[in-house]
Structure 1
Amino acid sequence: MANPVLGALIIAIGAAGAIWPYEVARFEEQIDAIGSKRSSSAVEPAEWKVQLTRVFGVGISLFGVLVLFNI
């Protein structure tokens, strides 16, 4: 039996990372800056982190498809 709610949620999370990798990576950097002396508005993600976020987003979306169709 397929789990459409969980599969759709995983696909949505992965798609956000694949479609908007810069914004997701920047949000992660802002969370990482909490508690440091650096302002969270001044952080910028490295190019490798943006690309890695895109790759993981695609991978998570594909995993969501597997969950959606219970493969």
Structure 2
Amino acid sequence: MPTDYREPYVDCDTCQRRADLPTPAGAHYTVGRKILAAQGWTFTVNHAERPLRLLPHTYLWACPECPPVATLAQ
């Protein structure tokens, strides 16, 4: 099940490993995604989702031990 980006954690969509989404106090949620990407987690937009206004609400995640789903575009 894809993880909502506003949840305080993310789940690997392959092995179900869970990681807390690190968000420093007052930081935007994208900071937490970049920290996890630096730790080896990869994510991509859930293309099966049909979001309103073309903004994604969920992402597919992969932990460092699983095959990557995407690379973080910088």
TM-score by length of 1: 0.27
Q: Which protein has greater RCO, CA pairs closer than 8 Å, 6+ apart?
A: 1
More helix by share: 1
More strand by share: 2
